[in-house]
Chains A and B, each alone.
Chain A
Amino acid sequence: MASHESTYRPTSNISKWLDARLPVQRMMHGQFVDFPTPRNINYLWTTGGLLTFFLAVQIVTGIVLAMHYMPSAADAFNSVEHIRRNVNYGWLIRNIHAVGASFFFLAVYIHIARGLYYGSYKAPREVLWILGVVIFLLMMATAFMGYSLPWGQMSFWAVTVITNLFSSIDSIIPGLGTRIVQWLWGGYAVSGTTLNRFYALHYLLPFVIVGVVGLHIWALHVVGQNNPTGLDIKSPSDTVPMAPYAVMKDVFALSVFVLLFAWFVFYLPDYLGHPDNYIEANPLSTPPHIVPEWYFLPYYAILRAIPDKLMGVIAMFSSILLLIFVPWLDTSRVRSTKYRPVYKWFFWLFVFTVVALGYLGSKPAEGVYVQWARVFTAYYFIHLLVVLPIVGVMETAKPLPRSIAESVLGSPAAAPKHR
């Protein structure tokens, strides 16, 4: 499908010499210039490029921060203040990194929703999809540990609450959970030791993400991109070369997204954060409400919706891990939700559910908030485990266009070639 000749022609002597020994330019040209992209892909297909961009931004700004940051309980908070106040453009680097994490997640959520809507997880893209879930998990781990680094009140208490979840294992094997928690902490409480190891891992994991992203893109270039019709590429008229078409579209979308990003970096740097994180960590004073960063709120709501601690932890982790099985849970033969009149409603209900869980996760775990969180948690799982398999079997899909080209250009007989 994605197999195509590389039109790469080495011109200089050096590139001819290299081409005969390590044809890396030929490969890049084939994969990122000639690569055939479906001609009908919309702006949701620019999120992959956005994500790659933000990964690079996080790594570059992170390395600069690391030159000034000090990972110890005594110095961490002060060193971040030093970055904000005294380092040249330190405030900018720090804002980009902190807001960048949020926008990274914004992009990945759109990216995942896109995949769910257009059935991009279905054969032959299962491995591609699973690699995506792995990246998502690694991102969450990275961001969680990164959030501990400024060592403010929320940093400290979020680490305390989340690491403590593992102690729920005590209810199956007494003592094991406690041991795991102490092993994670490197002691009997969250301390500078914990901060230090989180810093080491926070520095490491992004490079692991780079590796998995490499596999993700490799898998993509083996099976080719999906598209809004969900149809396979059948003839060259279904595609346009990646450069300049898709590249140009990606660059334009990037400029718009970065504009929104810059607005937050310069004008709303603390909007997505929590005021308590400007108070230095204090193990003796618990904040009235401990809330995680916004991108964790839906899972936090699921965790707190379940009265039993261990079951809550299991529900929270399985809400993400279940995504791995979506390619087999969805029984529909049609990929794109565009042609699935019944499933369409359930899809938007699912989206609403995740947003609602996010809202409820930000509220105190009491009264109506918990009751609604239970309702939406139930639907979250019902959607994945019941709706996906059953609707796929029952529903009659709308007629599909014959080809991608026909969906864009109209049927060759009826519509003019150019619009």
Chain B
Amino acid sequence: MTTPNRAKIGAASLLLASALAAGSAAWAAGGEPVHIDRQKWSFSGYLGKFDEAQLQRGFKVYVETCARCHGLKRIAFRNLVQPGGPSFPEAAVKSLAGTYKVDAEPNDQGKILKRPAILVDYLPSPYKNEQEARAALNGALPPDLSLIAKARGIESHAPFYLVPKNMLVDIATGYQEGGPDYIYAYLTGFKEPPAGTKVPDGMNYNRAFASPHMTAMPNPFAGGDGFVKYDDATPATVDNYARDVTAFLAWTADPRLEERKRLGLLVTIYLLITAVLLYLAKRRIWAKAH
């Protein structure tokens, strides 16, 4: 039986390898490669969960820093209350919503007036449209952040012969945090440009941003440690701001993550047991045939 075995392994590895090649191809930004470190996240791996307190801090950072330029249009106030997210108390979110003004239904005269937002409303974006945003920001467009953690990734620069091994490790550990890893690196990547590099007006040097490492976004944490006040005992440092807001954005991009991983564990265990039982049944039945 050696040959069919080799055939099996060969065919399986062929498919696996090409499936995996796709994964490595997944994110390839233009220009010279940037190495981005992977971070530890509470929501990574197959037992991963969001850290409620971290998401709450991250939301605070978003509101006080990023919301000036970036929208979060896929998140409704009610989502902030739901389990598996920041899970703020409902009353707090209701009163927070009340401080935002949104378009009301047309009144009897057909006029659209403003009314305070309620739980089912979506978070209002800072600009009405792309043109308004660009006009306000020197022609640059700050993307909506709802999905940004899924819309970015990190590139692997391993030589081709290491690719299969790295892929197997990523598959076994369920690595899906390329987006958050990138965002953290971007938010903390505002550094002095290397000597001789000219940074054009309105641009900022950021080592994580795709080559030539110039981004239109100014360092949102230029205010330094302490400029966002934390309500818990977490040190109010730039590093924590970046981490917390990134975790928050990971949640906005994937609000069903906890439900998914919880169900996944049950399904995996169920299938494992089923597979073992089926294997035993198969052995029993085939014992008569050999």
- A residues apposed to B, CB below 8 Å: 39, 42-44, 81, 84-85, 91-92, 95, 102, 106, 109-110, 113-114, 117-118, 228, 240, 244-245, 248-249, 251-252, 255-256, 258-259, 262-263, 265-276, 278-279, 288-289, 291, 293-295, 297-298, 337-338, 348, 351-352, 354-355, 358-359, 361-364, 408-409, 418-419
Knowing A85-B255, A248-B281, A255-B278, say if A267 contacts B264 (CB, 8 Å). Answer: yes
B279's nearest neighbour on chain A, judged by CB, is A252
Knowing A114-B7, A248-B285, A289-B28, say if A258 contacts B271 (CB, 8 Å). Answer: yes
A117's nearest neighbour on chain B, judged by CB, is B7
A362 and B25 contacting across the interface, CB-CB below 8 Å: yes
CB-CB under 8 A from A42, the residues of chain B are 1, 4, 8
Within 8 Å by CB of A266, from B150, B170, B268, lies: B268
B27 and A266 contacting across the interface, CB-CB below 8 Å: no
Knowing A85-B256, A355-B14, A359-B160, say if A364 contacts B275 (CB, 8 Å). Answer: no
- B residues apposed to A, CB below 8 Å: 1, 3-4, 7-8, 10-12, 14-19, 21-30, 46, 74, 147, 150-153, 160, 163, 170-171, 174-176, 178-179, 210, 253, 255-256, 259-261, 263-265, 267-268, 271-272, 274-275, 278-279, 281-282, 285-286, 289-290
**8 shortest interchain CB distances as A-B pairs:** A266-B264, A294-B22, A362-B25, A267-B174, A358-B18, A288-B30, A278-B151, A278-B150
A273 to B26, CA, bound (A): 7
A-B pairs with beta carbons under 8 Å apart, 6 shown? A84-B256, A110-B12, A255-B275, A275-B26, A275-B27, A293-B22
A245 and B21 contacting across the interface, CB-CB below 8 Å: no
A297 and B152 contacting across the interface, CB-CB below 8 Å: no
Dominant SS among interface residues on chain B? helix
A276 and B151 contacting across the interface, CB-CB below 8 Å: yes
A259 to B160, CA, bound (A): 28
Knowing A274-B27, A288-B30, say if A348 contacts B275 (CB, 8 Å). Answer: no
Min C-beta distance of B77 to chain A, whole Å: 14
CB-CB under 8 A from B147, the residues of chain A are 81, 278-279
B28 and A288 contacting across the interface, CB-CB below 8 Å: yes
A297 and B21 contacting across the interface, CB-CB below 8 Å: yes
A109-B15, A294-B21 given; name 17 further pairs at CB < 8 Å: A106-B15, A106-B19, A114-B7, A249-B282, A251-B278, A252-B281, A259-B271, A266-B267, A271-B23, A274-B25, A275-B150, A275-B151, A275-B153, A276-B27, A291-B22, A355-B14, A419-B290
A153's nearest neighbour on chain B, judged by CB, is B151
A124 to B267, CA, bound (A): 42
Min C-beta distance of B240 to chain A, whole Å: 26
Knowing A113-B11, A362-B22, say if A275 contacts B278 (CB, 8 Å). Answer: no
Knowing A109-B15, A275-B179, A364-B28, say if A267 contacts B150 (CB, 8 Å). Answer: no
A364's nearest neighbour on chain B, judged by CB, is B28
CB-CB under 8 A from A263, the residues of chain B are 171, 174, 264, 268
A252 and B278 contacting across the interface, CB-CB below 8 Å: yes
A294 and B267 contacting across the interface, CB-CB below 8 Å: no
A109 and B289 contacting across the interface, CB-CB below 8 Å: no
Knowing A44-B4, A252-B282, A266-B260, say if A359 contacts B11 (CB, 8 Å). Answer: no
B45's nearest neighbour on chain A, judged by CB, is A267
Knowing A351-B10, A355-B14, say if A272 contacts B46 (CB, 8 Å). Answer: no
Min C-beta distance of A107 to chain B, whole Å: 8
Which of B14, B147, B255 counts the most chain A CB atoms within 10 A? B14
B14 and A354 contacting across the interface, CB-CB below 8 Å: yes
A358 to B170, CA, bound (A): 19
A117 to B26, CA, bound (A): 31
Which of A274, A288, A291, A363 counts the most chain B CB atoms within 10 A? A274
B4 and A418 contacting across the interface, CB-CB below 8 Å: no
A272 and B14 contacting across the interface, CB-CB below 8 Å: no
Knowing A114-B7, A275-B152, say if A409 contacts B290 (CB, 8 Å). Answer: yes
B14 and A262 contacting across the interface, CB-CB below 8 Å: no
A30 to B263, CA, bound (A): 40
A291 and B286 contacting across the interface, CB-CB below 8 Å: no
CB-CB under 8 A from A271, the residues of chain B are 23, 26, 170-171, 176
CB-CB under 8 A from B264, the residues of chain A are 262-263, 265-267
A381 to B249, CA, bound (A): 48
